[in-house]
A and B are shown apart, each in its own frame.
Chain A
Amino acid sequence: GAVVSQHPSWVICKSGTSVKIECRSLDFQATTMFWYRQFPKQSLMLMATSNEGSKATYEQGVEKDKFLINHASLTLSTLTVTSAHPEDSSFYICSAASEIRGLGETQYFGPGTRLLVL
Chain B
Amino acid sequence: AQKITQTQPGMFVQEKEAVTLDCTYDTSDQSYGLFWYKQPSSGEMIFLIYQGSYDEQNATEGRYSLNFQKARKSANLVISASQLGDSAMYFCAMRERSGGSNYKLTFGKGTLLTVNP
Contact = CB atoms under 8 A, between A and B. Distances in A.
A97 B105 CA distance: 11
Nearest to A101: B50
Interface residues of B, number: 24
A46 B45 CA distance: 14
Interface of B: 33, 35, 37, 42-47, 50, 52, 91, 95, 98-99, 102-110
Contact of A43 (B33, B46, B103, B108): B108
Give the dominant DSSP class at B's interface.
Answer: strand
Interface string A41-65: 0111010010100000100000000
Interface of A: 2, 32, 34, 38, 42-44, 46, 49, 51, 57, 91, 93, 95, 97, 103-112, 114
A103 B105 contact: no
Contact of A106 (B50, B104, B107, B110): B50
30 contacts: A32-B102, A32-B103, A34-B104, A34-B105, A43-B107, A44-B91, A46-B104, A49-B102, A49-B104, A57-B99, A91-B43, A93-B43, A95-B45, A95-B105, A103-B50, A104-B50, A104-B95, A105-B33, A105-B103, A106-B33, A107-B35, A107-B47, A108-B47, A109-B45, A109-B46, A109-B47, A111-B43, A111-B44, A112-B44, A114-B43
